[in-house]
Structure formats: structure tokens, C-alpha cells
Structure 1
Amino acid sequence: MRNTCSLCGGKLKDGICTECGMDNRKSDEAYKSVLNQSDCANMKFSHVHEEGKAQAYEKPRMNQTREPEERKAGDSAAEKARDKGAASYSTSQYQSSGAYTPRTFTQGQKQGKKSIGLILIIGIIVVGVVFLFVNGISNMSSSETTDEIWDDDFLAEDEENFQNDDDQFAGANGNLDEDGEVWEEELMAGMYVVGIDIPQGEYTLTGKDGSSYGVFDKEHSISDNRKFGEEDVYQVENVELFQGALVCVDGLYPVNFSTKNAQTQDMGTREANPLTESYEFSGTAVAGEDFPEGTYDVYAVGDDFGVFQFGVDLIRVDYTVPFSFSTLMEKNPTEEYPDYCSVYKNVVFPKGAVLETKELQIKLEPSSGVTTTDYLSFYDNTY
């Protein structure tokens, strides 16, 4: 047994470090695996780095992450579920990344940790005392003005602003006409544009387990997604769809859209798709290089199941936005795995979009129509 601690270099007594309290009698390998682990380990596929730490990037995203399922020995169906869960990403999500160098501990770093640790502890105590002292003085000087700030008018306004916190579309900019036509349709997995595929209106959406929808409308401050079946919710009311919004549907089962004030008089139509050829591949492909940019229906055609995803940089006035999309696909999905779809309609691939499927074999079939041939601008209203 070592005479010094493998973590801080301190002296050991009966295998216990007298400095940091680490039990050195246990397996060194178990500790090494923890000490040498990157801060990015076990993070979601999509996250951002901030001040040297990885943080989950939750919004905006189009669907919820599917939780990994338990694997049971000898159960082929359960093994399949485990593999699917492990491959799952947050469907239809945005992705942003940053440079990060993980910090690890090695044997050469052990010397000197004892003194450094003591200095850090003393420094933290001093900073804490100073903070408490300054904060106490600040609170004393501002106590008289606090009551003036939190007056009745302010509280009334605050209550009005947040009384609809549970409303998924609270704060939406714009008003919908109350009068209109009755319109109802079931939409399968795919991308749809309000004003072309769906008339503007206030909708009731109904779906089954595994199916989900997302509404993305930067112009009207709307970014929301729901997965049916969670908390036994299979119907969502008062879903406001404004002209130009992008609506995404995912899963095995279609989602029913129903409204009584559809603005069908403002509906446009899709243009003829200039593309005519289909493309089939697995692995990685780049739009504009391996196949023409454009609007395609994506089909799962191989025996494998998995994640279909792509990413592209969206160009803004003075910056770019990294955008990524992903969905779960399988050639013949069943009700056992309702998160998976066999085809995803109307996917727009701008030039430079990088597609990734790994073992999943897919086929790109030109969609029946397009909303625009300026493919990069298709995502302007999403973020």
C-alpha cells in the first residue's frame, strides 16, 4: 500500500488520507476512472461549454429525449430497446458547441497538491467572509427603498405577466382572427409550413403514445414542443399557428390538427420540386457534394434502426447559428417503439448540410413540392 494519498499526496493512516480523507484501500482503478473523466462525460449530445464546464442545452428543441430502456438478459426485444435508447438523441433540436480542453489528473500532478489545497481553502474562507460583510452593509442601506420598489402596482403587473406561466404560448406576439373555416387533417412525421401545408388558426392537436409535435415561430416568439402520452396527455388545445411558422411532427403515428377558424383564403401552395433523382446511402454525406441540395422525403430502407441527423450553419446578419436536426428511424417500426418513424416528409437540406446515419440505411426521395428554392432561408423563422 502506498505511503502517500493517490489523490492529493497527503500522508496515510490505516489507508485513510489525513489531508483529504480519501480511502486509499479501495481499488485505484475505480478512482482513476473518476479522476481522469472529462467534464463532458455523460452529457447529452447537444450541449454548450461555459467557463470550462459542460452544460445541457435544452432549448429550443422539437421533441423530448427518449430515455434508455432496461436491458434484460436473454430478451432480444429488450436488447433492441437498450440499443435504441442508447442511440437516441433529442429529436429535432438545435446544437451549439464550443472549444473545451478537459482537465485530468495524472501521477505527475500529485506532488504539491497538499499545499495548494490548503491555500485554496483559506482563500475560499476569506472571500466568503468579505462577501457576507459587504452584502450585509448593502442590505442595510437598501432596506428603506425595498418597500417602495415592491409597491401594489408593481406586484399587480408582475402577477399579470406571469399568471399564464403554464400556457405554452404565453407571450406570443400577434392575434388570430376568430372567424374562419373548419379544417382538420392528420399529418405524418415531417416538416410543414403554416400558410402552405396548414392554414393559419388556433388548433386542437391530438396524438398517440410516442408521437410528438414542435412549433417554431421566431417572428411571433413561439418555440414549443409536446410529446403525447407523457403525463397521460393525448390532446393539446389552443395551439396558435401563425403564417410562416415551421411545424414538425415525429413518431410512428400521425398527429391530428383540427381548427374552427382556419384562414384558408390566405393559403399558398408548394411549387414543383426541381429535383428528380433519388439517393441512397448510410454513414456521412454532404448536401451539394454527395447529392443536390433541396427538399426530400427521407425513408429508412435498411435492416438497421437508428438516428438520422444533419447539421448546418444558418447565416444571420453578422453571425452564424449552428443548427442540427435529428429523428429516430426504422424501416418497419411497431407500436412497441412508437418514437420511430419509417419516413420523414419535406426535409430541407441547404448546401453544406452534413448528414449522418451511421449504420442506418436511408433513401432520399424528392418531395412532391417545395416551399422555396432558397433552401438556407427555409430555417430563418426557427431561431
Structure 2
Amino acid sequence: MDMKYDKCPICNEKLKNGICPMCGYDFKRLESGQRSGNRGNRPDYRARPNEEPKHSMTKQHKQAHRQFRTEKKRGAGKLIKFILSFVVISSIFLDAVSEVDIGQLMKKVRTFMSEDEKKQWTKTMPDHTYEDTDYDLEKTGKRFSVNLTSGRYIVGLDLPEGNYTMTAGGEELYFSANNDAQNIGIYEQFTDEKILDVKRYCKVKNVRLYQGSLIEVTGRGHINCETSDANMKKMEEPRKNPLSKEVEVDGVMTAGKDFPAGTYDVVAVSDGGEFKFTYEQDKDDEFGANSIWLSEDSKGEDPEKFVNLELMKGTEIEIPPEGYFQVRLIPSKHVRPENMHVYDSLNGLDS
């Protein structure tokens, strides 16, 4: 009897064109082999492409991702990789023996892995991430929670200093937190789906956000940030944005020349595509251009806007000249403070 696969029995992922997007198992070949009775046609095992996410933003964000994806997998990551390899190799062998055997094997593996499900999807930031910090965070006992959508945020302005637990509210989200003064650089990938991926987590604990840290979130949805030790005493009063006029982006434009420099929310008003921006001091840098992928389609994979982006004088912005992709700059509610040394250091500004 032929077996029809809609989901991967290994990862429980929905198949795309008959191939599991997680482990790369080609079930089209398996089904074809079952129909023809030719057991010599074994399914291919193809590694999942390890592409750099198009949501990546600043040069620091891109560099962090490259370092992140080349780091060795530890603990559960190595175990999961070993199990997947074992299952695929075993399934190829068992496919030549019996359809019933392969189903039983995969069922056992899924049962085994589900017993450790919590550890797979939750991560605790190791203490050595903060070994160069100047001080310990206060135990205030004050609770604070906020949902951060795609955009930039500053600790002490948009959310208080504290030890946070981050929880995904979207399928594919990226989070970074950088603080030069405390020598902290955090980069994490989030998902709210129960998938087998050692690099993406539903929840990350012990994320210590120090005053002045620059946070960047990209992707559709939000990341919930919750702490029980919010340091509200360090919160600064944000300054209201003096800008009020919206800007329709047309081709290539320069802040301070074609439109007023300042802090804007970048919003897709038609179709979707890539919004590029290059700071003046980075124009001669091969990797100087940054990008935001946006989509006005509520069902698309990209967010419809990116908030709190500072476009300083001389910053060049660009959208593709062809197509129907239209972008509007809407003045953000508040402006970014000029004395934030971490924010300045990331963008090459002078304090």
C-alpha cells in the first residue's frame, strides 16, 4: 500500500513540494519508489540551506548573524543533529525493507524527542555573556512588560533596564541587543512554532538589558519582553518629535536635502520590497548599505513597518525604481536622544 505524506514524520513540519523544509527529507522520491516498487530509488537527503535572513539590518547585525550561524552547536543542538542524521540514514535503509518499519521508527523518535521538548524550545542566556559588565542589575521587584514589533528601541527610553524573558509572537523574528559600554552583543532568532530548529527559540530567559542598549527587532509579529525587576528610576523622558510632515519615498533620496532629517517610521503603503538606507560615513564601505524588507500585505512574511529609524543628515535612502512598491516615512512619536553612546557607536556618530 502506498503511503502519502503531508507532514514530515520526523519533524512534524508541513511538507513543501514533498520535501521537509527542516531536515531536507525528500518524500516525493520515497512515494515514487513505493509506487514503482524500485527500492533502488532511495530518497535524497539534502541539507537545509543556511541563508542569511533578509531581515538583517545594520552591519553589526549582519556580522552578528554570520558569527551566530558559524558557531558550533552545543548540548541539545548536537544531540538533535545526531538524531536527525541517524533517523534519515536509518529510514533510507528501512525503506528497502518495510514501510511499516520506517513508520514505527519515526514514531519512536518523535516520542523520544517530545520528552525533552521544553529544553529544545527554551534557552537561558549563559552568564558569561555578561562577564565584562561594570555592575549588576538591581532587584527592584517591579514588573514591566512590552511587545516590541519590527524597529529600534533604546533601554532607558523605550523600556526600562532589567533582566528579561523574551517570548516569540511570530513565526520568524530576529532580536539583537548591543551595548558597547558593557561589551554585550546578543543576537537571537525567535519563533512561536513548534519546529525542530536548534537556532530558533520560542522563549529566551536571562536577557539582561543594560541602560543605553540599542535593541533591534525584525520580522512579522512581535517579541514580548517581560521583567520582574524593572529599573523605572533610570527611565528618561522621551522628547516629542518636532517633525509632522510625511514623506513619500521616490527612488533615491537624501536626508537633509530631499526631506528633513530625523526619526521616522518606515511604512509600506503598496506591494512589498526592500528599503535601503546608507549613512553618509558608510557610503564608501562595501557593506555600508542597510536594508529593511517590508510588505503592505497583512498575510505576507514581512512587517508593514519599521519604527524609530533615525535618518540623519546625509543618509541616502532608496527603493527599487521598478514595480509597485511604495514607501512612506511617517515621523515617529519620539526622537532618539543624541547622547546615547551605544546608539552613536553603532552608527558611527559623535556623541
TM-score (norm 1): 0.52
State whether residues 169 and 240 of structure 1, in contact with CA within 8 Å, keep that contact through their aligned partners in structure 2: no
Distance 1:206 1:88 in 2: 20
Q: Please, what is the CA RMSD of the aligned residues? A: 3.3
Distance 1:264 1:173 in 2: 20
The number of residue pairs the alignment matches comes to: 224
State whether residues 125 and 205 of structure 2, in contact with CA within 8 Å, keep that contact through their aligned partners in structure 1: no
Shift of 1:356: 1.9
Shift of 1:187: 1.5
State whether residues 314 and 321 of structure 1, in contact with CA within 8 Å, keep that contact through their aligned partners in structure 2: no
Match of 1:310 in 2: 277
Q: Percent identity?
A: 29
Per-residue deviation, residues 297-343 of structure 1 (Å, max 9, x unmatched)? 1100112x22222111459xxxx997543221001242xx53x1101
In structure 1, what residue type is equivalent to 2:243? Answer: L
Note if 1:246 corresponds to 2:214: yes
State whether residues 95 and 322 of structure 1, in contact with CA within 8 Å, keep that contact through their aligned partners in structure 2: no
Distance 1:253 1:274 in 2: 29
Shift of 1:239: 0.6
Shift of 1:369: 1.2
Match of 1:169 in 2: 129
Q: 2:153 aligns with which of 192, 209, 225?
A: 192
Shift of 1:236: 0.5
Identify the range of structure 1 (324-333 vs 267-276) with the bigger mean alpha-carbon deviation: 324-333
Distance 1:88 1:290 in 2: 31
Q: 1:347 aligns with which of 304, 309, 312?
A: 309
Shift of 1:382: 2.7
Distance 1:295 1:272 in 2: 10
Shift of 1:366: 0.6
State whether residues 60 and 346 of structure 2, in contact with CA within 8 Å, keep that contact through their aligned partners in structure 1: no
Give the greater-gyration-radius structure (CA). Answer: 1
Distance 1:378 1:347 in 2: 15
Match of 2:71 in 1: none
Shift of 1:379: 3.1
Shift of 1:185: 1.2
Q: Give the SS at the match of 1:265.
A: helix
Distance 2:132 2:214 in 1: 15
State whether residues 181 and 342 of structure 2, in contact with CA within 8 Å, keep that contact through their aligned partners in structure 1: no
Note if 1:356 corresponds to 2:321: no
TM-score (norm 2): 0.57
Per-residue deviation, residues 79-120 of structure 1 (Å, max 9, x unmatched)? xxxxxx999745113179xxxxxxxxxxxxxxxxxxxxxxxx
Distance 2:184 2:336 in 1: 21
User: Mapping of 1:161-240 within 5 angstroms?
Assistant: 169-174=129-134, 175-207=136-168, 208-229=170-191, 230-231=197-198, 233-240=201-208
Distance 1:171 1:184 in 2: 26
User: Mapping of 1:136-151 within 5 angstroms?
Assistant: none
Shift of 1:172: 3.9
State whether residues 125 and 204 of structure 2, in contact with CA within 8 Å, keep that contact through their aligned partners in structure 1: no
Distance 1:258 1:219 in 2: 23
Match of 1:379 in 2: 343
